[in-house]
């Protein structure tokens, strides 16, 4: 809970700083006629939106579960990360398009103003990136990572604008402005793709990256009461909240107390492997209805298949 509050505080401070400078950079890019600055300002618009979305996601995630949303709204954080990732990709593609136009007809650029604004922008982004890195868990929380990658990409945009301004100022290379934009766009595209793929992996109920299925099977199987494991599922509900469900085949004579003790021990051990929500169904060996470790769900399910009546 404390880490969540820290994340929200960091996001709010970052949102205020980025939004204020976004206006300055957009005006500066228009006045100086610099694509590098305008693309960076456009990226900062997405930064501001992404930070706002991330804040909303954290607030919604705090809502308790109900009959309609049995997991609550925690997964909205992942949806926010998807939006951030896709936004980065769209921005990168737009920058590519604009850069092509400018390569064909390089415009005059007011380099002094461009250098001044991009330098201030770099300082702003460094400050925000530092605040986010020190005050939040950008590695463990995908929502925070998406917002953080927006800021890092924006920082690279400012560096690109500075380099382009220097090349135009000292060598008169008008193509440096769109060239810098293309380089930044590649980096932005890469960041957007990574965040989007990681988010989609979670939405597709993929196995968490930091979880080894073989290790979990070993933990489940080494208990003397467990004869086999099947229908195993491991997925991420939201960043930092992994879940597991499976069926365990146990002896017919296992008592309720022994079963409860077994489940408690398994939950404890799985917790050390990053599994926070565990659902285990015990089956008597004489009543088991599956052998495959992973569940192969058919499109049409016979509710009586595999069961003895």
What are the tens digits of pLDDT across the range 160-201? 888 888 888 888 888 888 888 888 788 778 878 888 898 899
pTM of the prediction?
0.72
Q: What are phi and psi of 118, to 5 degrees?
A: -70, -35
- pLDDT grade for 67, boundaries at 50, 70 and 90: confident
Helices 111-135 & 142-171 angle (0-180, nearest 10): 160
- What average pLDDT does the segment 73-92 reach? 82
Cα–Cα distances (Å) from 220 to 142, 213, 284, in that order, read 29, 11, 16
**CA–CA dist 49, 184 (Å, integer):** 19
* CATH number, domain 2-203, options 3.40.50.300, 3.50.50.60, 3.40.640.10, 1.20.1510.10: 1.20.1510.10
- pLDDT grade for 138, boundaries at 50, 70 and 90: low
The number of beta carbons lying within 10 Å of the beta carbon of residue 89 is 17
Instruction: Judge contact between 58 and 4, C-beta under 8 A.
Output: yes
Please provide the distance, in angstroms rounded to a whole number, between the alpha carbons at the two ends of the chain: 47
| Domain boundary assignment for the chain | 2-203, 213-287
Helices 35-61 & 142-171 angle (0-180, nearest 10): 170
Find, among 245, 234, 250, the residue nearest to 282 by Cα.
250
Q: Is the pLDDT of residue 22 over 50?
A: yes
Fold classification of 213-287 (topology level): Alpha-Beta Plaits (3.30.70)
Residue, of 109 and 223, whose pLDDT is higher: 223
Q: In DSSP terms, which residues pair with 267 in a beta bridge?
A: none
Complete DSSP assignment for 14-70:
HHHHHHHHHHHHHHHHHHHT-HHHHHHHHHHHHHHHHHHHHHHHHHHHTSPP-SS-T
- pLDDT grade for 309, boundaries at 50, 70 and 90: very low
Find, among 160, 173, 16, 11, the residue nearest to 92 by Cα.
160
* Residue 139, helix vs strand vs coil: coil
Tokens of 94: 């737009």
């Amino acid at each position: 809970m404390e880490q969540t509050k820290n994340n929200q505080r960091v996001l709010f401070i970052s949102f205020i700083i980025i939004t204020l400078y976004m206006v300055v950079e957009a005006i500066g890019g228009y006045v100086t006629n610099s694509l590098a600055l305008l693309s960076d300002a456009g990226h900062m618009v997405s930064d501001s939106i992404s930070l706002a979305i991330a804040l909303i996601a954290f607030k919604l995630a705090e809502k308790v579960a109900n009959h309609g949303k049995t997991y609550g709204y925690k997964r909205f954080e992942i949806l926010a990360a998807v939006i951030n990732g896709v936004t980065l990709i769209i921005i990168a593609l737009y920058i590519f398009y604009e850069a092509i136009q400018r390569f064909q007809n390089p415009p005059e650029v007011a380099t002094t103003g461009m250098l001044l604004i991009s330098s201030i922008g770099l300082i702003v982004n460094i400050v925000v990136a530092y605040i986010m890195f020190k005050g939040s868990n950008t590695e463990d929380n995908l929502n925070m990572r998406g917002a953080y990658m927006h800021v890092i990409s924006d920082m690279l945009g400012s560096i690109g604008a500075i380099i382009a301004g220097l090349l135009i100022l000292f060598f008169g290379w008008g193509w440096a402005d769109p060239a810098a934009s293309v380089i930044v766009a590649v980096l932005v595209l890469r960041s957007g793709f990574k965040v989007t793929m990681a988010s989609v992996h979670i939405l597709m109920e993929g196995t968490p990256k930091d979880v080894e299925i073989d290790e979990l099977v070993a933990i489940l199987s080494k208990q003397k009461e467990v004869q086999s494991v099947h229908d195993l599922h491991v997925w991420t509900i939201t960043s930092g909240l992994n879940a597991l469900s499976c069926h365990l085949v146990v002896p017919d004579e296992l008592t309720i107390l022994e079963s409860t003790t077994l489940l408690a021990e398994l939950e404890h051990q799985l917790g050390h492997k990053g599994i926070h929500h565990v659902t285990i169904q015990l089956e008597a060996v004489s009543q088991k209805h599956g052998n495959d470790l992973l569940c192969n769900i058919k499109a049409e399910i016979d509710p009586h298949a595999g069961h003895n009546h």
